[in-house]
Amino acid sequence: MQILKYPHPILRHKCKPIKKIDQELRDVIAEMIETMYAGDGVGLAANQVGLPLQIFVLNTSGDKNKPEEEYVFINPVITKKFGGFTESEEGCLSFPEIHAVVERPAEVVLQGAALDGSLQQFRWKGLAARAVQHEFDHLQGKAFIDRLLPVRRLEIRGDLEALEREFETNRQLGVIPSDHQIAVTLAEWEQKWCTP
């Protein structure tokens, strides 16, 4: 799996709910977890690796030797937000080298299915609350840059433009498929796991 970078269009794709969890999907999720660790991330959403599916993986310790802190959420929903707002710096594997301060609710309740299909629900605070909101946003086609104050967005504009130029170059080289080809691939994945 390859982590796709801004402004790849799949980062703007609204991921579809999973209708069936089978062994092939579990293998895909295991690979997502490996990819998260390989990228030194604490979370990874499915569309960051090209999958239009409502799945994210998380380990806020960032340490693959702490599997007890590893979570998989399928079809996640944020059911409550509370504790006011807090500000902290965020980064994202799809925006390499870019960091910015984002304001978010301090605590959330997030529920979703686990790998075995059972419903799990947790109340999150601190870094974990921030991480689950960041990953949940990805599945809605949103990125952390959408939540920046205009002045902070201005500060990273040059870095974003550099990524946009890199993307254009890769597209001209054929490294990144056309929008049409991407849409065809996404429809295949959705057909496989998002239809009953």
One-letter identity of residue 48: Q
Closer by beta carbon to Zn ion, 36 or else 176: 36
Q: Shortest approach of Zn ion to residue 196 CB, angstroms?
A: 30
| Cβ-proximal residue to Zn ion, closest one | 92
135 is known as an active-site residue? yes
Q: Shortest approach of Zn ion to residue 173 CB, angstroms?
A: 25
One-letter identity of residue 168: E
Closer by beta carbon to Zn ion, 25 or else 92: 92
| Order of all β-strands in the sheet with 119-125 | 43-45, 55-59, 70-90, 100-113, 119-125
Q: Shortest approach of Zn ion to residue 20 CB, angstroms?
A: 26
Q: Shortest approach of Zn ion to residue 138 CB, angstroms?
A: 6
Find out whether 19 and 196 touch, Cβ atoms under 8 Å: yes
Closer by beta carbon to Zn ion, 92 or else 139: 92
Q: What is the separation of C-alpha 184 from the centre of its chain, rounded to a whole number of angstroms?
A: 21
Q: Which of 34, 68, 89, 135 is catalytic?
A: 135
Of 105, 106, 107, 103, residue with least CA distance to 148: 103
Closer by beta carbon to Zn ion, 92 or else 129: 92
Alpha carbons within 13 angstroms on the beta-carbon side of residue 32 total 29
Of 146, 124, 145, residue with least CA distance to 58: 124
* Binding positions for Zn ion, rule: CB under 5 A: 92
Residues annotated as catalytic are 135
